Structure 1
């Protein structure tokens, strides 16, 4: 996603494009974890930062609420969403369905460009696991899942997947599941198996193994969450 500096934001027209800029930038900050879960968001402060009136900021926050990234509490304020364990479980159930379907669809397509990119991704992932570089491996995990969905070549599936990943704040949350002992190594093996089945054009098995992989990621994720059932911004997501 393109990043917008504040200076660039201020130089753009104060119209619908400015509202889109605020949405994109705030979405990016929340997903990356630049703004912590539960943090309050001030319309006035954001309007001042972006050099606009409060109206485009208010509309941007409404859109982010629709996407599940912020919570607007009447007469209280606006806050970055903190998903509960139940909400995370439900989101992962949907993630399992979407990514399982993506694996099946990709297996039916043959040697498309995404296959080469997935093979390169796994080579780099193997190296990251060998170095115990969890930060780099987390980036490659994100890329693997994005490539899988892109390779399915289904725009509706991709749209639902992107909104789902935004609600999970994927980039911010992936490290919690990887912090579980042995999870990075097992995750890497699961990715390899999924791709082997895709290359074999075994759509049924590719879907099954992909769904099992997402379930394993969910178990690792929930094992790293606080007992209270609300995460505190320390990162959890499918890997």
Structure 2
């Protein structure tokens, strides 16, 4: 699929001192927004030509995306956008369940003390959802903040950093498969988690969080089966 990168240039500032990061930010945003098709080959020369930059910052940006798992470079074949498959979704949610449930368990008191933060995030979700012209990226970002806050309650830097790296791939999965009808269900599930924390019922909060993750996973898998994108 041919891309008009010149239109996308309005989204970033390619300052001479930070061209690599500018190109990286642009390409990452395009991948996460589905501007590229899964398994599409990315031509560094073509991208550099369209952006009006040398190939070096483009190659550097593609290498950064490769290290994060967004693209994959195959010797003598080129660089391709990584697709999201059934096994990827399952593995993502196995990891999320392990980390988020652990964090909620060890960080329950932290969540209780800072319940206002979680409540504000969930209320903001509702406000976005009620806007007919809501920004899909904004609501995905808000959802990420809710779950990242739960993980942050672990107060374990290694867990938090590892989870942060995973979130980019979760967003890619959501951008492909999550339909509008799931938004209200997700909001209600978030509220159940919040209410359990407010009541001081750790076990109920863990059950609601586990159910929420399971429902999200099954929704993504069902959409994958229906759309056959990959």
- Confirm or deny: 8 A CA contact 1:103 1:198 kept in the other structure: no
Q: Which residue in 1 is equivalent to 2:76?
A: 75
* Gap runs ≥5 in structure 1: 233-239
Q: Which residue in 2 is equivalent to 1:236?
A: none
The normalised TM-score by structure 1 is 0.74
Q: CA deviation at 1:52?
A: 3.5
Q: CA deviation at 1:178?
A: 3.4
Aligned partner of residue 178 in structure 2, secondary structure: helix
Aligned partner of residue 72 in structure 1, secondary structure: strand
* 1:207 is the counterpart of 2:211: no
Q: Which residue in 2 is equivalent to 1:120?
A: 120
Q: CA deviation at 1:50?
A: 4.2
* Gap runs ≥5 in structure 2: 1-7
The normalised TM-score by structure 2 is 0.77
- Confirm or deny: 8 A CA contact 1:107 1:202 kept in the other structure: no
- Counterparts of 1:19 and 1:205, CA distance in 2: 47
Q: CA deviation at 1:164?
A: 1.4
- Counterparts of 1:174 and 1:85, CA distance in 2: 15
- Confirm or deny: 8 A CA contact 1:138 1:175 kept in the other structure: no
* 1:167 is the counterpart of 2:166: no
Q: CA deviation at 1:77?
A: 1.6
- Counterparts of 1:197 and 1:7, CA distance in 2: 42
- Bigger RCO (CA 8 Å, 6+ sep): 1
Deviations 1:5-32, CA, capped at 9 Å, x for gaps: 47731x322xxx4323322222122112
Q: 1:231 to 1:106 in 2, by over 3 A?
A: farther
Deviations 1:69-107, CA, capped at 9 Å, x for gaps: 001122222111112211121112112222323433553
Q: 1:172 to 1:111 in 2, by over 3 A?
A: same
Q: Which residue in 2 is equivalent to 1:157?
A: 159
More helix by share: 2
Deviations 1:15-70, CA, capped at 9 Å, x for gaps: xx432332222212211223332222111122234444323322221221121100
Q: Which residue in 1 is equivalent to 2:86?
A: 85
Matching of residues 35-114 of structure 1 within 5 Å: 35-109=36-110, 110-112=112-114
- Confirm or deny: 8 A CA contact 1:108 1:203 kept in the other structure: no
